[in-house]
Amino acid sequence: MVNKIFIGIMASLIAVSLLLFGMLQFFMPMTYERHLNMQLGDNLTELIYELERTPQDQWDNLVAHFVMENSAGVRIELMDGFENDEAFFGTYFITREYPIAAHGFFSSTVSISLSFVYDSAPFQIAVVSGMAATAAEQVSDIFLQMFPYVLLVILVISVVVAFFFSRFLSRIQALQADIQREREHERRRRDFFVAISHELKTPVTILKGELEGMILNVGKFKDRDKYLGEAYKTGESIEKLVSEIMTIAKLDTISLKNEDILLPELTETCVKTYEPLAQAKGIKINRNFNTSAAIQGDKAQIKTVLSNIIGNAVNYSPESNLVDIGIKQENDTIVLSVENTGISIEPQELLKIWEPFYRIDKSRNRNTGGSGLGLYIVRIILDLHGLTYRFEPTKTGMKFIIFFNVTKM
**pLDDT tens-digit series, residues 147-171:** 888 888 888 888 888 888 878 887 8
Q: Which residues, in sequence order, are bridge partners of residue 124?
A: 77, 115
In residues, how long is the chain? 409
> Which residues, at least 6 apart from 262, have a Cβ–Cβ distance to it below 8 Å?
292, 294
Residue type, 252: D
CA distance 150 to 381: 54
Q: Is the pLDDT of residue 347 over 50?
A: yes
Range with the poorest average pLDDT among 101-110, 219-228, 391-400: 101-110
Q: Indicate the pLDDT class of residue 88, thresholds 50, 70 and 90.
A: very low
Q: What is the pLDDT of residues 126-148, one digit of tens each?
A: 888 877 777 778 888 888 888 88
- Using DSSP's 3-state secondary structure scheme, residue 142 falls into helix
CA distance 56 to 54: 6
- Using DSSP's 3-state secondary structure scheme, residue 24 falls into helix
Average pLDDT, the chain: 81
Q: Is the pLDDT of residue 408 over 70?
A: no
> 294-297 and 322-330 as β-strands: parallel, antiparallel, unpaired?
unpaired
Domain boundaries, the chain: 2-139, 256-409
Q: Is the pLDDT of residue 385 over 50?
A: yes
- Dihedral sign computed on CA atoms, order 372, 377, 382, 384: positive
Q: What is the pLDDT of residues 243-274, one digit of tens each?
A: 877 877 777 677 888 999 999 999 999 999 99
Range with the poorest average pLDDT among 311-315, 343-347, 377-381: 343-347
Q: What is the pLDDT of residues 196-234, one digit of tens each?
A: 776 777 778 888 888 888 888 877 777 777 888 888 888
Q: What is the pLDDT of residues 272-307, one digit of tens each?
A: 999 999 999 999 999 999 888 789 999 999 999 999
Mean pLDDT, residues 33-44 = 89
Domains 2-139 and 256-409 share a fold: no
> 322-330 and 284-289 as β-strands: parallel, antiparallel, unpaired?
parallel
Whether the CB-CB separation of 120 and 87 falls below 8 Å is answered with no
Alpha helices for 254-409 (secondary structure H)? 263-280, 299-316, 347-350, 366-369, 374-385
Residue type, 211: L
Helix pair angle (224-251, 131-216), 10° resolution: 160
Q: What is the pLDDT of residue 30?
A: 85
- Using DSSP's 3-state secondary structure scheme, residue 322 falls into strand
CA distance 20 to 14: 10
Question: How far apart, in Å, are the Cα atoms of 368 and each of 148, 169, 283, 325?
Answer: 77, 51, 16, 22
Q: Is the pLDDT of residue 15 over 50?
A: yes
Q: Is the pLDDT of residue 1 over 80?
A: no
CA distance 62 to 85: 26
Domain 2-139: assigned CATH number: 3.30.1140
Say what the pTM is. 0.52
The sheet with strand 333-341 has its strands ordered as: 284-289, 322-330, 333-341, 397-405, 388-393
Q: What is the pLDDT of residue 316?
A: 87
Q: Indicate the pLDDT class of residue 82, thresholds 50, 70 and 90.
A: low
CATH topology of domain 256-409: Heat Shock Protein 90 (3.30.565)
Q: Indicate the pLDDT class of residue 93, thresholds 50, 70 and 90.
A: very low
Q: What is the pLDDT of residue 209?
A: 84
